[in-house]
Amino acid sequence: MEKVPSVVPQISQNVINNIMEKEHITQFIEQNLNLIDQRIFPKFMYHNIIHALNTSLFAMVIASFYNISISEKKILLDASFLHDIGRISDGEDENHSYVSSILAETVITNQLFYQNQKNLLLLQSLILGHTESLYDQSIFEKSDSTDLSQNLLLLKILKDADILDRVRLPLENINLDRLNLEVSKSLLHFAKYVNQTKVMHYLIKDSEKYELSTHYN
């Protein structure tokens, strides 16, 4: 395994702001979030809508550095929203990725986009795979897509986006070895900025229910 340097150059906030503006990232997130009933998000201390929104932002920023279609970004975004909806606690929950992948179909069943079975199966595969090893290619066995390398890229982005939001946890130091993509390793400062400034909180319709999350700020 390649040794990760102790200090990784970070992408500046100005560069990220330009990327977000050019790619219309926040608008894309809001547009797709409006298609989902926010009541489905868990309300635990850490795994809640704030985690889902932060993960979605990190995923879209990382994705902007790669050749990813708008359809794939849509699926990746929804996987970021829904990857933890099956959780029963903030602690160890071995089955939550499987449960979340099943529940996801009921959440997005009214979206015409997911009446295409290929899109639905890829969404469920990403959610199922976010806690699994990247070497387990059976994750995508139900997916209609034949492009395994592209599917793995999407999964790496989701995994990294999920890990980046761990900056919200007290005393958490993210091990760079856990991040799969070099771009992700350059976004630690951005992840801390998102947490400190609560960039995504404006999208929460029932924000008073999430005041407890400030415990991690």
Residue 88 is part of a domain; what is its CATH number?
A: 1.10.3210
In a domain, 44, yes or no: yes
Which helix (H) or strand (E) element contains residue 54? Answer: helix 49-63
Taking 90 as the threshold, does the pLDDT of residue 185 lie above it? yes
| Nearest residue to 80 via CA among 198, 200, 214 | 200
Kindly indicate the confidence band of residue 207, based on its pLDDT and cuts at 50, 70 and 90: low
Is residue 103 a contact partner of residue 85, using CB atoms and an 8 Å limit? yes
In a domain, 4, yes or no: no
pLDDT in tens, 85-126: 999 888 888 889 999 999 999 999 889 999 999 999 999 999
Tokens encoding 174 = 């993210």
Query: What is the pLDDT at residue 13?
Result: 96
Domain, as residue range, for 36:
13-216
In a domain, 212, yes or no: yes
Split into its structural domains, the chain has a count of 1
In a domain, 8, yes or no: no
In a domain, 2, yes or no: no
pLDDT in tens, 18-50: 999 999 999 999 999 999 999 999 999 999 999
- C-alpha to C-alpha distance for 172 and 21, rounded to whole angstroms: 30
In a domain, 177, yes or no: yes
In a domain, 187, yes or no: yes
Residues whose CB falls within 8 Å of the CB of residue 189, separated by 6 or more in sequence, listed in order? 10, 11, 13
Which carries the bigger pLDDT value, residue 173 or residue 155? Answer: 155
Residues whose CB falls within 8 Å of the CB of residue 103, separated by 6 or more in sequence, listed in order? 40, 82, 85, 86
In a domain, 7, yes or no: no
| Nearest residue to 63 via CA among 158, 171, 136 | 158
